[in-house]
């Protein structure tokens, strides 16, 4: 095939380049105006889950798990995603969602939250877990895919400066700069690392409360926290809200008491590339221009499936994975099946 330039050296762009190389493409350039994983990927929570509220998101995640499992530790640890319900309404929603997910083939099961060492569970009415889910190193995975691909990488390079028969736009929230008119809005989300916390079990799952507050282990003695903000911060001003930092530390102290008082290691903010229905945009958006963006916070965990599907479509004309739910033309009508489980 003629030359392909992939704009955006985050997880999605790296996966596309990796799968293009696997299918035999020889003239592929992966470029980024910054450095590898310097955008949203390098600022991500690093969760990998199949537990979504709509079939299109579940399917992408299911198709991605195999590659994460192949990468294995320390890049990916299959510790599971544990969702907790603390109100009757939350429990009903949790059970309904789990039934839906099992119908799609996701191995979600009821769990005993009190069995998780260190976790406070006296206020938990019910919990579910998918043990195939887990936690990963987003920047590490991205670099490994690039290493395996062997493609040419151009950092600190604007893709529009390079000649290409096909330009693949995988720039997250910055994608509309290359393709004006894409229905993508940047949403500021922040994260927080606290530590050192003693005796965090290696098998600690990603813990997700009914409120959306969630945390995971990083390394041996650090916990990473995140939560939906009470008022969405639309825009690209990546700043940390100190009031949220203290609120999250209090929530962690309640759910995981041994972390009470753990100091802040670092706090940072990044951007979600949100679409109206929280599904990604995957497909042709102009002559010789293909988009893979708008992942609404799920790009890292869905990158393996996206990379494989896009590479097939670019090189073979069609993908074995059904990309219909993600086509750009769906926005000509009302959003269908909006994803609600955006953490």
Q: CA–CA separation, 102 vs 238, rounded Å?
A: 37
Q: Tens digits of per-residue pLDDT, 46-93?
A: 999 999 888 888 999 999 999 999 999 999 999 999 999 999 999 999
From residue 229, give the alpha-carbon distance in Å to each of 52, 61, 247. 19, 24, 11
Q: CA–CA separation, 93 vs 121, rounded Å?
A: 19
Tell me if domain 1-76+136-182+275-343 and domain 81-131+185-273 are identical in fold.
no
Q: CA–CA separation, 243 vs 326, rounded Å?
A: 36
Q: Tens digits of per-residue pLDDT, 142-178?
A: 999 999 999 999 999 999 999 999 999 999 999 999 9
Query: Residue 318 has what DSSP assignment?
Result: S
Residue 74, preceding bond cis, omega within 30 degrees? yes
The class level of CATH for 81-131+185-273 reads: alpha beta
pLDDT band per the 50, 70, 90 thresholds, residue 3? confident
Backbone φ and ψ of 19, nearest 5°: -75, -30
Overall pTM > 0.85: yes
Which element (helix H / strand E) includes 300? helix 299-316
User: Is 222 within 8 Å of 215 (Cβ atoms)?
Assistant: no
Is 249 a residue whose pLDDT tops 70?
Answer: yes
CATH annotation of 1-76+136-182+275-343: 3.50.50.60
Is 300 a residue whose pLDDT tops 60?
Answer: yes
Break the chain into its structural domains and give their ranges: 1-76+136-182+275-343, 81-131+185-273
């Amino acid at each position: 095939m003629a030359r392909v330039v992939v704009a955006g050296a985050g997880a999605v762009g790296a996966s596309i380049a990796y799968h293009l190389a696997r299918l035999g493409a020889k003239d592929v350039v992966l470029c980024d105006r910054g450095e590898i994983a310097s955008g949203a990927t390098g600022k991500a929570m690093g969760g990998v889950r199949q537990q979504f509220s709509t079939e299109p998101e579940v399917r992408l995640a299911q198709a991605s798990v195999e590659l994460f499992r192949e990468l294995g530790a320390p890049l990916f640890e299959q510790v599971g995603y544990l969702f907790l319900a603390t109100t009757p309404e939350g429990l009903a929603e949790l059970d309904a969602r789990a039934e839906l997910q099992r119908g799609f083939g996701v191995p979600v099961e009821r769990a005993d939250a009190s069995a998780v060492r260190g976790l406070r569970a006296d206020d938990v009415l019910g919990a579910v877990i998918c043990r195939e889910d887990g936690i990963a190193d987003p920047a590490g995975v991205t670099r490994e895919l690039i290493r395996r691909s062997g493609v040419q990488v151009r950092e600190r390079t604007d893709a529009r400066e390079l000649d290409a028969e096909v330009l693949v736009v995988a720039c997250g929230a910055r994608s509309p700069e290359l393709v004006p008119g894409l229905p993508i809005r940047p949403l500021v989300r922040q994260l927080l690392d606290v530590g050192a916390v003693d005796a965090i079990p290696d098998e600690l799952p990603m813990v997700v409360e009914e409120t959306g507050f969630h945390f995971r282990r990083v390394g041996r003695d650090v916990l990473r926290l995140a939560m939906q903000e009470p008022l969405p911060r639309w825009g690209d001003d990546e700043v940390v809200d100190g009031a949220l930092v203290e609120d999250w530390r209090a929530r962690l102290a309640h759910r995981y008491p041994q972390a009470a008082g753990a100091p802040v290691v670092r706090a940072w903010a990044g951007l979600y590339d949100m679409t109206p229905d929280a599904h990604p945009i995957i497909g042709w958006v102009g002559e010789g221009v293909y988009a893979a963006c708008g992942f609404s916070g799920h790009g890292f965990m869905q990158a393996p499936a996206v990379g494989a599907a896009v590479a097939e479509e670019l090189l073979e004309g069609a993908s074995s994975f059904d990309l219909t739910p993600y086509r750009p033309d769906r926005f000509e009508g009302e959003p269908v099946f909006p994803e609600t489980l955006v953490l």
